[in-house]
Structure 1
Amino acid sequence: MSPLTPPFSDEHEELRRSARGFIERELTPHAQQWEEDRWFPDEVFPKLAAQGLLGLKYPELYGGQGGDYLHEAVLVEELARTGSGGTAAGIGAHINIATPPIWKFGTEDQKQRYLVPAIAGEKIGALGITEPGAGSDVAAITTRAERVDGGWVVNGEKTYITNGVRAHFIVTAVKTTPEGGHHGISFLIVERGEGVSSSALHKLGWHASDTATIAFEDVFVGEENLLGELNEGFKLIMANFQWERLAMALGAVGAMQIAWERTAEFARERSAFGKPLSGHQAIRHKLADLATSVYTCRCVTYDALRRFVAGEDPLKEVTMAKLLTQRASFELMDACLQIHGGAGYMREYWVERAARDARLGPIGGGSDEIMREILGRILSL
């Protein structure tokens, strides 16, 4: 299956070849070890930065490449070739959810202190929104920031935070009014330091990424670290949701593509009953169905991407892409594992890991149920 070219230009395809080469040389060979270690080295970030891959969509003024979301989309797809959902997730959290709010809403001082070193791979970021009692219901967060002379004192807890152990700074949603809610939430950039502690969480998949519960105990945050407007943090949350969900769809499409390629190759080489697996109609038809699923997901995702890059507000299309691709990716990985038979259930085969990694898709970044609720409202149901 050859990938659709639109909406990408020759420049984007050249970037794809370059990024793929780097990933297959520098990341993929270590995937299994990093999964076993449940950690990938921090040194990955400066290596990516040296290739210009941490700042593709950011202005050259801040050390970026001066590209756009299409350049970033290429990288998101290609990161699937690391063979480790956790590694891709850790990198993706840094470039797609932690740093965009600083770029869009940060002061010049904040950009110099956080965005510039993040693009250089010198500082690693995380986004802290989810709490033990507040997931999809973002307005229900309870982490609070009390005004004091010169800033705020933060107390509370965040959980399921990607890069939550390694992050040097956490872009953190906090209550800045007693009632909180849509007009009582603000964002503070909290630096790792006194009063900030992380507890690693162990997951079904994404083993190489560090996911953590982060506790804030009387953490002082200077007023210069207020990100965006006071009490208007909900706008900041919503501003990046579209790209985060589109990035998840792109990542799923990339993962589905490589999984299909590897499984089709396995089916051609593996023999049963005197002929290749692909020579059996049941397997051949299943692979044909899976190829159709990959193509359909790519078409829906690329349509949403075109609209997003064109400046539209493609809430419906992005939501559909996120909903479709995450479940389809999980189902495809399960089918690929089935084709591998008993071998697919073994740790040494990539597909065992891929099946586990794919399960988070229908939950993270807005669950399937939330996506359907959004679509229900858009469709006036």
Structure 2
Amino acid sequence: MTANPVDADLAGELSASVQRLCAAFPAEYWRNADASHRFPVEFREAVAAGGFLGVAMPEQYGGSGLGIREAALILKAIAASGAGASGTSAVHMNIFGLHPIVVAGTEDQKSRFLPPIISGEHHACFAVTEPNSGLDAGRLETRAERRGDRYVITGRKIWISTAQIATHMLIVARTGGAGLSGLTLFYSPLDRNKVEIREIDKMGRAAVDSNMLFIEGLEVPVENRIGEEGDGFKILLHGLNPERILAAAGCVGIGLAALERASAYARERVVFGRQIGSNQGVSHPLAEAWAKLEAADALVARAAALYDSGRPCGPQANAAKYLAAEASFEACEAAVLTLGGMGYAKEYDVERLFRESMIGRIAPVSRQMIFNFISEKVLDLPRSY
């Protein structure tokens, strides 16, 4: 789908607005947040004040009523500013995380839950993954037992981003028997008297936390159940393709940020009497990385346009996520190698971007599972798992 002139103008204005906002948060801000493992509170507040959190949310609840294409532009611009995965992860759940409620929530639920997320008053985390199941959602073990007018949830979740600062939690728990049909979706305040949160010490994106949750007796009112019992996984499916598209957009932005820094260094660094950027051994890997990022970005835009028009986009969304993650990693690797020893130094930021580029190759879905999907759904090959 080709954007019309109005769409192109809007895209340009949106990207420029985000770039102006991000200019107030230079590399030092993100470097310090990463070093101190400090959540970028000021940045998130600025994004909320700018009205960007509701870009893809319905207008009647305070959003802008735009699409995934516009949300992708915002996340790409944030990452490309040098904020990287820390910047995108700080706002991703507010921008799109409650889409399952938009799709399956009642009017009462939308009116209660969406406005404070859009304004930034609330911050939600998304609790799906568990230690014993990984991507095999049919084996989730966390249980929700109904007791009168409420459910009582007990279990464990892992790799839950932003739980340290979250006020609410979108959580999947088992209300029925084995398999995907036994899962139900809930939205609940994050009661720290019932949920123990342990931060995971990890390689990258240190400014935004990842956590293990130990849930014991969390009470959730029936009116906070999203959809019917057993519909949890089906509801989540509505968010999988947009999630891949937005993750891909962030990956492209990380790669572009790394290339910008590497190119600047290659123009300034003089060795053997000339700029190192004049050497093809330096310039060609950067040029190749740019070309691959452009290709990935084009597929991100195509997948987003398909989704926004209501057409199937699963293969394109998965392929965009794969290509963007790989292109981002290669761009960051080329940037580190361009700077040589200084690429290993924190003050030049490319080592931080390189660490964060690994996230896209792992989450929210691995390369291997993307290949499984494309093999089965596009190429009509036998399922391998």
Asked whether the two chains share a fold, i.e. TM above 0.5, the reply is: yes
| Contact kept? 1:94, 1:125, Cα under 8 Å | yes
Matches of residues 301-380 of structure 1 in structure 2 within 5 Å?
A: 301-378=300-377, 379-380=379-380
| Contact kept? 2:286, 2:331, Cα under 8 Å | no
Q: Deviations over 1:157-196 (max 9, x none)?
A: 111011111111110000001x231211001112122312
Q: Deviations over 1:131-179 (max 9, x none)?
A: 11111111110000011011111000111011111111110000001x2
The answer to whether 1:186 aligns with 2:184 is yes
State the 1:6 CA deviation: 7.6
Q: Deviations over 1:303-339 (max 9, x none)?
A: 2222222221111111111111112211221111001
What is the identity, as a one-letter code, of the residue corresponding to 1:181?
A: G
Counterpart-to-counterpart distance in 2, 1:5 and 1:329 = 25
State the 1:33 CA deviation: 1.4
Equivalent in the alignment of 1:68: 67
Counterpart-to-counterpart distance in 1, 2:140 and 2:26 = 36
Specify whether residues 66 and 302 from structure 1 end up closer, same or farther in structure 2 by C-alpha distance, changes over 3 A only.
closer
The answer to whether 1:168 aligns with 2:167 is yes
Counterpart-to-counterpart distance in 2, 1:176 and 1:122 = 30
Equivalent in the alignment of 1:140: 139
State the 1:200 CA deviation: 1.0
State the 1:5 CA deviation: 7.8
Equivalent in the alignment of 2:247: 248
| Contact kept? 2:27, 2:349, Cα under 8 Å | no
Equivalent in the alignment of 2:76: 77
What is the identity, as a one-letter code, of the residue corresponding to 1:184?
A: G
Specify whether residues 27 and 117 from structure 1 end up closer, same or farther in structure 2 by C-alpha distance, changes over 3 A only.
farther
Specify whether residues 124 and 252 from structure 1 end up closer, same or farther in structure 2 by C-alpha distance, changes over 3 A only.
same
Equivalent in the alignment of 2:13: 14
Equivalent in the alignment of 2:90: 90
State the 1:71 CA deviation: 2.0
State the 1:79 CA deviation: 1.2
What is the identity, as a one-letter code, of the residue corresponding to 1:183?
A: S
| Contact kept? 1:57, 1:64, Cα under 8 Å | yes
Counterpart-to-counterpart distance in 2, 1:362 and 1:291 = 18
State the 1:109 CA deviation: 2.2
State the 1:39 CA deviation: 1.9
User: What are structure 1's unaligned runs of at least 5 residues?
Assistant: none
Equivalent in the alignment of 2:24: 25
| Contact kept? 1:77, 1:253, Cα under 8 Å | yes
Counterpart-to-counterpart distance in 2, 1:95 and 1:376 = 31
Equivalent in the alignment of 1:284: 283
What is the identity, as a one-letter code, of the residue corresponding to 1:147?
A: R
Secondary structure at 2:341's aligned position in 1?
A: helix
Secondary structure at 2:360's aligned position in 1?
A: coil
How well do the aligned residues superpose, as a CA RMSD in angstroms? 1.8
Q: Deviations over 1:15-42 (max 9, x none)?
A: 1111110011146551111111212244
Q: Deviations over 1:315-372 (max 9, x none)?
A: 1111111111112211221111001100000121210100000011111011111101
Counterpart-to-counterpart distance in 1, 2:334 and 2:45 = 37
Counterpart-to-counterpart distance in 1, 2:77 and 2:3 = 15
Specify whether residues 344 and 372 from structure 1 end up closer, same or farther in structure 2 by C-alpha distance, changes over 3 A only.
same
Counterpart-to-counterpart distance in 2, 1:191 and 1:268 = 51
Equivalent in the alignment of 2:44: 45
Equivalent in the alignment of 2:124: 125
User: What are structure 2's unaligned runs of at least 5 residues?
Assistant: none
| TM-score for both structures, normalised by structure 2 | 0.93
